[in-house]
């Protein structure tokens, strides 16, 4: 892929268009990155997205300016989960990674004005690839195989639970009132 080239699902492309429309001013630091992504994007349907491309919800490893790699999940907006787990596309680095292919770099101005090189090393998980894999497994299984996943145990209603010890008053579990 060329330097600015990126592959986006129709959903990811629409999210970027909405983000650009909602930018409060053209001085927003994300505007140039959004414009570059939208102009350079090749849009593909999710079933045709290569598994080595970063999409929303992908878990990936990347580095900035050749420093130690970091692994994050690219998400739509800031999350309220553990710090360091997600990388929202509402940040420059998250937005830069969206649509990149493994091994590809995106160059953008950093916070201090110096150039930042964001390199995508590996996509560990991609929702589109996982969905294709799940659908393929379902199609390979026959209706009989799907039924075999549910197993009926004969006599389960007749035989008492070996771990419960019933007494004439019921089970011997005193319940929460005993605490």
What would the pLDDT profile of 82-102 be if each residue is shown by its tens digit?
778 899 999 999 999 999 999
pLDDT of residue 144: 60
Q: Is residue 152 part of a domain?
A: no
pLDDT digits (tens, 9 = 90+) for 72-82: 999 987 666 67
Q: Is residue 166 part of a domain?
A: no
pLDDT digits (tens, 9 = 90+) for 17-59: 999 998 877 788 899 999 999 999 999 999 999 999 999 999 9
Q: Is residue 160 part of a domain?
A: no
Between CA 108 and CA 110 the distance in angstroms is: 6
Secondary structure of residue 47 in the 3-state scheme: helix
The set of residues, in sequence order, having a beta carbon less than 8 Å from that of 7 and lying 6+ positions away, is 1, 41, 42, 43, 44, 49, 50, 53, 99, 101
Q: Domain containing 46: what range?
A: 6-131
Model confidence, pTM: 0.75
CATH code (residue 72): 3.10.50.30
Q: How many domains does the chain have?
A: 1
């Amino acid at each position: 892929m060329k330097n600015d080239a990126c592959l986006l699902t129709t959903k990811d492309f629409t999210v970027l268009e909405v983000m650009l429309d909602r930018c409060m001013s053209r001085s927003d630091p994300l505007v140039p990155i959004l414009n570059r992504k939208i102009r350079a994007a090749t849009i593909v349907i999710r079933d045709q997205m290569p598994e080595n491309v970063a999409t929303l919800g992908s878990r990936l490893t990347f580095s900035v300016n050749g420093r130690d790699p970091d692994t994050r999940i690219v998400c739509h907006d800031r999350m309220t989960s553990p710090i360091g787990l997600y990388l929202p596309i509402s940040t420059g680095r998250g937005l830069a990674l969206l649509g990149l292919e493994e091994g590809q770099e995106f160059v953008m101005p950093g916070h201090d004005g110096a150039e930042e090189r964001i390199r995508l090393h590996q996509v560990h998980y991609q929702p589109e690839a996982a969905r294709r894999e799940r659908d393929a497994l379902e199609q390979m299984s026959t209706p009989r195989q799907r039924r075999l996943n549910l197993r009926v145990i004969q006599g389960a209603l007749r035989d008492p639970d070996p771990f419960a010890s019933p007494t004439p008053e019921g089970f011997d579990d005193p319940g929460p009132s005993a605490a």
